[in-house]
Amino acid sequence: MARFFYFAVLIALMRVSEAAKGAVSLDVLTFDKVIAAHPVVIVKFDRQYPYGEKEDHFKTFAERASSRKDLLVAEVGISEFGEKVNEALRERFGVNKDDYPVYKLFLKGDSEHPVTYSGDASADDLTRFIKVEGGLWIGLPGCLESLDNLAAAFIAGDESVRKENLDNARSTAENLENDEEKKNAKVYVKIMEKILEKGDEYVTSEMNRVRGLLEGKVKDDKKEMFKIRINILSSFQVTSTGTKDEL
């Protein structure tokens, strides 16, 4: 009876866990070949048949990321029972099963030194992670590619370059016809002004402040506004090594 119940649960989980569109499955035989063949790969290490809210976010992210030809989204399904599928990969990368899902970003074919993701595993936060650590633009709610490019040039430049990019951002904002885009573009401008006034640390302090506000009781319209501000602030972040890689 217990054995029947186990298989019934297993079949149910397999039905719930449909393969994510835009993602490829890796195993111990294909892992290194695939990593070596792509400039940027983000890999989700998870139980063999994942389900739930975080898996839904992964599916949203994988479909969103499919627009980038230079980014591969992959997943490694791990089982601690039976044949212990992909257990060797779990051990190789120090993945704790209590932390599932665990995301690791592999850059330029380096299969030994990935960047480990530490966010909340939401689709938007994973997208920010790719933008910051991978240097790849994927549209986030409220973000504009032209302003994101100016933000990257701004944060990487000296004071004269920053002032030039601030002028360009102001001009871009004024020339936008869409009211919503114009409003969001002005957020980029305001952030640039604050960085010139207070220094680079403004980005981190403001990010922490807005995240704190999100944790409180706020109305839905305010919540969306705060999320957009966080998305735009992430455009002014640099990689964990302090630079934006050219991929």
Q: Answer yes or no: are the C-beta atoms of 130 and 105 closer than 8 Å.
A: yes
Amino acid, single-letter form, for residue 59? K
Question: What pLDDT digit, counting tens, does each position of 110-169 carry?
Answer: 889 999 999 999 999 999 899 889 989 888 889 999 999 999 999 999 999 999 999 999
Q: Domain-by-domain residue ranges, the chain?
A: 2-134, 145-234
The confidence band for 80, taking pLDDT boundaries of 50, 70 and 90, is: confident
Note the pTM of the prediction, 2 decimals.
0.74
- Smallest CA-to-CA distance from 28 within 79, 71, 86, 69 is with 86
Locus of tokens 């455009």: 235
The confidence band for 7, taking pLDDT boundaries of 50, 70 and 90, is: very low
CATH 1.20.1150.12, domain 145-234, yes or no: yes
Class of domain 2-134: alpha beta
Query: Which helix (H) or strand (E) is 192 found in, with range?
Result: helix 179-198
